[in-house]
Amino acid sequence: MSRFIFITIATSIYAGMNFYVLWNIFNIFQLRKSFWFWVILLVLVFLFPIWMIFHRMWNWWLIGKYIYIASAIWLGILTISIWIFIIYNIINFKLKNIYLWYATILIIIMVCSWALYNGKKLIIKEVNIKIPNLKQDTKIVYMSDIHIDTINDDRYITKIVDKIKKINPKFVLINWDLVDGTSLTHHTFSWFNELNIPIYATLWNHEIYMWKEFVIKLLANTKIQLLIDQKIEQEWIQILWSDELMWYNRKYDTNKLDKFLSWANIDKSKSSILLIHEPVWTEISSKYWINLQFAWHTHAWQIWPFNYLVRTAFKYVNWLYQIKDLQLYVWPGTWLWGPPMRLWSNNEITVVNLKKE
């Protein structure tokens, strides 16, 4: 499918969602669908995509930031309200009760308010994972999809750093999407320098949207060490990362990962961790005796019921999986993409207690 066809289909679906929700709102409040209905619809349809593209150029303009935030929140409200309206219309088809109208609006307000509140929280989750050939139990911090952007600014980094200080791990792994391509503001990652432990990070899709070279410059004066097609050893553990792998480019990137792991000459007598942003290619990881593969990208997915759609694209969505001798850990991430909202999932810093077998 060409990019043009994909964008056309996605835009049509998004426009249809906006039309359905706005139509129901007008019906509930018995508003006439006049000229202003279509004006509001056009604004809602184009608000988020336009500001996602252009606010990076106008981020110095304060009102631009808040318009972007409002458009992102609307995307979340749209996502939540559409399935509530579907349920409403099914029930209302027979009942035709005015109180059902107002109950529906109240439910939408309550659910969206909870999702906004939950989207601001950052919790710490601990998971114990046994891996072979480990010389001693090791505590590490694993993060991904931090997505520092217009909504999620440097204050979030200080929040993360403060929590990591209290955890006191041996080292930190950040698996892709440290920044978000929707912002070119002058973020600083120097807060990570307050951590007196090794920090390793990988880059790919959102860093690429924002220009990889720019991100590398941002991190140049920090303690964060970027892993680009390399293997390092830390606490008797081999940590591997192959650069620029995306699941949609399956044939080329599958071969690239295969070649990288072959080149890495993995020592089977030592524990090994592979960082791959998407929860895929487990058959290749197993082939090269990887003990533990860390993944992310699915966002668990932020707002129910879209987690079911994610499952159509990825077999492994959230939590720890045993695949033959390989363990795959997929988690919901440290932040969000798009709407600053979560429904039945959390922003997490994962404390991984690696245990000797």
Side chain identity, residue 309: L
As a whole number, the mean pLDDT across the chain is 83
- Nearest to residue 242, comparing CAs of 273, 220, 219, 207? 273
Q: Please write down the HEC assignment for all residues of 224-289.
A: EEECCCEEEEECCEEEEECCCCCCCCHHHHHHHHHHHHHHHCCCCCCEEEEECCCCCCHHHHHHCC
Query: Exposed (0-12), middle (13-18) or buried (19+): which is 291, by Cβ within 10 Å?
Result: buried
Q: What is the dihedral of CA 197, 240, 268, 142, to 10 degrees?
A: 50
> What is residue 291's predicted lDDT score, i.e. its pLDDT?
96
pLDDT exceeds cutoff 90 at 305: no
> What is residue 190's predicted lDDT score, i.e. its pLDDT?
85
In the chain, at which residue ranges do the beta strands (DSSP E only) sit? Answer: 122-131, 138-143, 171-175, 199-202, 224-226, 230-234, 237-241, 271-275, 292-295, 319-323, 326-330, 347-356
pLDDT in tens, 231-279: 999 988 999 987 766 655 566 577 888 888 999 989 999 999 999 877 8
pLDDT exceeds cutoff 90 at 61: no
Both structure tokens of 169: 């791990």
Q: Please tell me the distance from the alpha carbon of residue 344 to that of residue 300, in angstroms, as a whole number.
A: 9
| Range in 29-43, 227-241, 302-316, 328-342 the model is least confident about | 302-316
> What is residue 250's predicted lDDT score, i.e. its pLDDT?
63
Both structure tokens of 354: 């690696």
- Nearest to residue 79, comparing CAs of 348, 338, 345? 338
pTM given for the model: 0.84
pLDDT exceeds cutoff 60 at 1: no
Question: Where is mean pLDDT largest: 144-158, 182-196, 252-266, 343-357?
Answer: 343-357
Sequence-ordered list of residues with C-beta below 8 angstroms from that of 94, at least 6 positions apart, any chain: none
Q: Please tell me the distance from the alpha carbon of residue 181 to that of residue 161, in angstroms, as a whole number.
A: 22
pLDDT exceeds cutoff 80 at 315: no
> What is residue 224's predicted lDDT score, i.e. its pLDDT?
92
pLDDT exceeds cutoff 90 at 85: yes
> What is residue 53's predicted lDDT score, i.e. its pLDDT?
66
| Range in 69-78, 84-93, 300-309 the model is least confident about | 300-309
pLDDT exceeds cutoff 80 at 183: no
| Domains (range + CATH), the chain | 3-119 (no CATH), 123-356 (3.60.21.10)
CA distances from 161 to 118, 145, 156, 205 (A): 20, 15, 9, 24
Question: Is the distance from CB of 342 to CB of 335 less than 8 angstroms?
Answer: no
> What is residue 72's predicted lDDT score, i.e. its pLDDT?
87
Q: Please tell me the distance from the alpha carbon of residue 118 to that of residue 84, in angstroms, as a whole number.
A: 19
Q: Please tell me the distance from the alpha carbon of residue 151 to that of residue 142, in angstroms, as a whole number.
A: 22
Q: Please tell me the distance from the alpha carbon of residue 299 to that of residue 196, in angstroms, as a whole number.
A: 29
Question: Is the distance from CB of 340 to CB of 122 less than 8 angstroms?
Answer: no
Residue 11 pLDDT grade (very low, low, confident, very high; cuts 50, 70, 90) = confident
> What is residue 235's predicted lDDT score, i.e. its pLDDT?
83
> What is residue 144's predicted lDDT score, i.e. its pLDDT?
86
